[in-house]
Amino acid sequence: MNRIIKTLLAVTALVLAGTASATLIVSGAGNGVCTTNQYTSTCTLVNITPHSAWQTNNPFGNGAVWVSSLDSGIGGITIPSSNTTPYMTITEMFWGNAFSLDIWADDTASVYVDGLLVISENLSQGTCAIGSIGCEPNENGSVSGSWGVNAWHTVRIDVYQTGGSVAGALYSGSYNVPVSGSLALLGLGLVGLMISRKKKA
């Protein structure tokens, strides 16, 4: 009987070692690293009032909200137009082995993962791109990645304003960090300690 219990406890500890914890990556005031003027000036993301045509805040129930480097939402300032230069860049960094992220932007955005371009800016329309990446529902860009080991990774979002009006970005996702194998060893050690104490009793 004791051998069965020991085996079950050991298997449970090893299974727990293989599970991963998911941590959110969501847009919000103060989240991410914000830069302007082609990465030369720092900024702090602020929540903005989205346009009524945009994807609503909190698209997947993770608390993500529309943000910008300035109050450039409804009732705020107007961002100058440019088809060549992003008006802001948002960089999210995480330690893990997998992630997924959905992104909306007004008017559009390009997305880089670890420095590699994975989605180009969509300059198909002057006011909010048609399709990926745009600002309306179902115009989100989706990116994901997985790696064999935990490491530092970056997701960079370059946001463009091509229509000279309200502007912002919305993103929602998560990254995974597998539970360390050392936790399994700790679990096995505790199990062994409990069993030895029972034997002594």
Lowest mean pLDDT among 87-101, 129-143, 172-186: 172-186
Q: Considering its fold, how many domains does the chain have in total?
A: 2
Is the N-terminal amide bond of 25 cis, ω within 30° of 0? Answer: no
Same structural domain for residues 87 and 184?
no
Q: What is the pLDDT of residue 177?
A: 85
Could you tell me if residue 43 is inside a domain? yes
Same structural domain for residues 48 and 121?
yes
Same structural domain for residues 174 and 117?
yes
- The sign of the torsion formed by the CA atoms of 111, 112, 113, 117 equals positive
In this predicted model, which residue has the larger pLDDT, 190 or 35? Answer: 35
Q: Between the ranges 11-15, 31-35, 123-127, where is the mean pLDDT highest? A: 31-35
Q: What is the pLDDT of residue 16?
A: 45
Same structural domain for residues 73 and 123?
yes
Q: Are residues 47 and 54 in contact, defined by beta-carbon separation less than 8 angstroms?
A: no
Angle between helices 181-200 and 2-18 (to 10 degrees): 160
Q: Find tokens 């997701």 and name the residue.
A: 155
* Mean pLDDT of the residues in the chain: 86
Q: Is the pLDDT of residue 71 over 60?
A: yes
Q: Is the pLDDT of residue 99 over 60?
A: yes
Q: What is the pLDDT of residue 13?
A: 45
Same structural domain for residues 6 and 65?
no
CA atoms within 13 A of residue 154's CA, in its CB half-sphere: 13
Question: What type of residue sits at position 159?
Answer: V
Q: Find tokens 């346009």 and name the residue.
A: 51
Token pair listed for 48 = 């903005």
> By three-state DSSP, how is residue 37 classified?
coil
Provide the pLDDT confidence category of residue 133 given band limits of 50, 70 and 90: very high
Q: What is the pLDDT of residue 125?
A: 83
Q: Is the pLDDT of residue 15 over 80?
A: no
Residue 151 CA, chain-centre distance (Å), reads 15
Q: What is the pTM of this model?
A: 0.81
Q: Is 88 exposed, middle or buried (0-12, 13-18, 19+ CB in 10 A)?
A: buried
Q: Is the pLDDT of residue 1 over 70?
A: no
Provide the pLDDT confidence category of residue 9 given band limits of 50, 70 and 90: very low
Same structural domain for residues 47 and 131?
yes
Q: Is the pLDDT of residue 100 over 90?
A: yes
Q: What is the pLDDT of residue 103?
A: 98
Q: Are residues 173 and 99 in contact, defined by beta-carbon separation less than 8 angstroms?
A: yes
In this predicted model, which residue has the larger pLDDT, 13 or 134? Answer: 134
Domain containing residue 184:
1-19+179-195
Same structural domain for residues 105 and 55?
yes
Residue 46 CA, chain-centre distance (Å), reads 17
- Looking at residue 119, the DSSP 8-state letter turns out to be E
Q: Between the ranges 12-16, 19-23, 180-184, where is the mean pLDDT highest? A: 19-23
Same structural domain for residues 76 and 166?
yes
Token pair listed for 154 = 């970056």
Helix (H) or strand (E) holding 185: helix 181-200
165/80 Cα distance (integer angstroms): 7
Provide the pLDDT confidence category of residue 197 given band limits of 50, 70 and 90: low
